[in-house]
Structure 1
Amino acid sequence: MLNPVWLNTFATVAASHSFTDAGRQLRLTQSSVSEHIRRLEEHVGRRLLVRDTHSLSLTADGEAMLVHARMILEAMTHAELQFRSPRLRGRVRLGSSDDVALGPLPSVLAAFRRTHPDVELEITIGMTGRLYEHLDAGSIDLMVGKRRIGDPRGIPLFSGQLEWLGLTGTEVDLEQPLPLILVAEPSVTRAVVLDSLAAVGARWQVVCTSSSYAGCIAAARGGLGLTVRSHFLAGRGLSPPVNRAALPELPQVEFIALGAKHLSRPAETLLQILQNSDLRGEWPGE
Structure 2
Amino acid sequence: MPTLDITPLRSFAAVVAFSGVRRAADTLHLSPSAVTGHIRRLERELGCRLVIPQGRGISLTSDGEELSIRARDIVQQHDDAVHTLTPLADNEILVAATEHAAEFLVPTVVSLLHERLPDRAVRLRLTRSAHVRDLVHDDRADVAMMLTRPARGSVRVAPIPLRWFAVDDVPREDLVLFAAPCAIRHQAVASLGGRPHRVATECVNHTSVIGAARDGVGMTPLPRIGPTPDGLRTVRGLPRIPDIDLYAATSERITDPVRHEVLALLRSTLRSSDG
Instruction: Judge same fold: TM > 0.5, yes or no.
Output: yes
Structure 1 SS opposite 2:267: coil
Query: What SS does structure 1 have at the residue aligned with 2:133?
Result: helix
Query: Aligned residue for 1:229?
Result: 222
Give the equivalent residue in structure 2 for 1:239: 233
Q: How far did residue 269 of structure 1 move?
A: 5.9
Q: Provide the residue aligned with 2:241 in structure 1.
A: 250
Partner-residue secondary structure (3-state), 2:169: coil
RMSD: 2.7
- Map residues 82-97 of structure 1 onto 2, 5 A cutoff: 90-97=91-98
For structure 2, list consecutive stretches of 5 or more residues without a partner in the other structure: 1-89
Superposed CA offset, 1:159-199 (max 9, x none):
221111112x22535xxxx21111112222112213323xx
How far residue 237 of structure 1 moved from its aligned partner, in angstroms, is 1.0
CA distance in 1, matches of 2:252, 2:152: 23
Compute the displacement of 1:151 (Å).
Answer: 7.1
Match 1:217 to one of 200, 210, 213: 210
Q: Does 1:194 align with 2:182?
A: no
Matches for 1:124-135 after TM superposition, within 5 Å: 124-135=125-136
Identity rate of aligned residues, in percent? Answer: 18
* TM-score using structure 2 length: 0.58
Equivalent position amino acid for 2:135 in 1: H
Distance in 1 (CA, whole Å) between partners of 2:189 and 2:130 is 15
Cα distance in 2 between the residues matched to 1:268 and 1:90: 18
Change (3 A) 1:269 1:138: same
Q: Is the 8 A contact 1:160 1:283 kept in 2?
A: no
- The 3 A distance-change label for structure 1 pair 267 and 238 is farther
Whole-Å separation in 2 of the counterparts to 1:264 and 1:153 = 11
User: Which AA in structure 2 matches 1:186?
Assistant: P
Q: Specify the alignment match of 2:267 in structure 1.
A: 279
Measure, in 2, the Cα distance between the counterparts of 1:195 and 1:152: 27
Deviation of 1:129 (Å): 2.5
User: 1:220 Cα shift?
Assistant: 0.8
1:158 aligned partner: 158
Amino acid aligned to 1:283: R
Deviates most, 270-279 or 228-237: 270-279
TM-score, scaled to structure 1: 0.56
Secondary structure at the residue paired with 1:209? strand
Q: Is the 8 A contact 2:162 2:241 kept in 1?
A: yes
Give 2:118's aligned residue.
117
Amino acid at match of 2:159: S
SS at match of 2:166: strand
- Mapped to 2, the partners of 1:256 and 1:277 lie a distance apart of 13
> CA 1:189 to 1:102, structure 2 compared with 1: closer, same or farther past 3 Å?
same
**Following the alignment from structure 1 to structure 2, what is the Cα–Cα distance between the partners of residues 253 and 152?**
18
- Contact 1:220–1:226, Cα closer than 8 Å, also in 2: yes
1:180 matches 2:171: no
- Structure 1: state its 5+ residue gaps: 1-88
